[in-house]
Structure 1
Amino acid sequence: MQLDVVVPVLMGCALLWWVSRGMTWTTRLAVSAVTLVLIVCVVLVERASR
């Protein structure tokens, strides 16, 4: 794996853990899915602009 994929995923997981302390598990899963989709979109847009 390349660093430009690993770093955003780790940062997203850390932020999700910090924000989701008061959420239920279903809400956490939904937020996780949305976060991962956004990270993938940002990485794809960045690679397309190169």
Structure 2
Amino acid sequence: TAPPGRRMGHAGAIISGSAGTAAEKIEAFEKAGMGVAKRPIDFVELLRARV
């Protein structure tokens, strides 16, 4: 457990307000030129395109 007044955990799990939502993360990844799999099966094609 975290000490009083502190939050611990994976940074991706800490979401405050609208910052850090899945949609915002996907948009940031796409803006950076990274492929984003919308469905698990899409991962295969993303991987093939980069290998």
Q: How high is the TM-score relative to the length of structure 1?
A: 0.24
Q: How high is the TM-score relative to the length of structure 2?
A: 0.23
Q: Which structure's residues are more often helix, by fraction?
A: 1
Query: Larger relative CO (CA 8 A, sep 6+): 1 or 2?
Result: 1
Q: Larger Cα Rg: Structure 1 or Structure 2?
A: 2
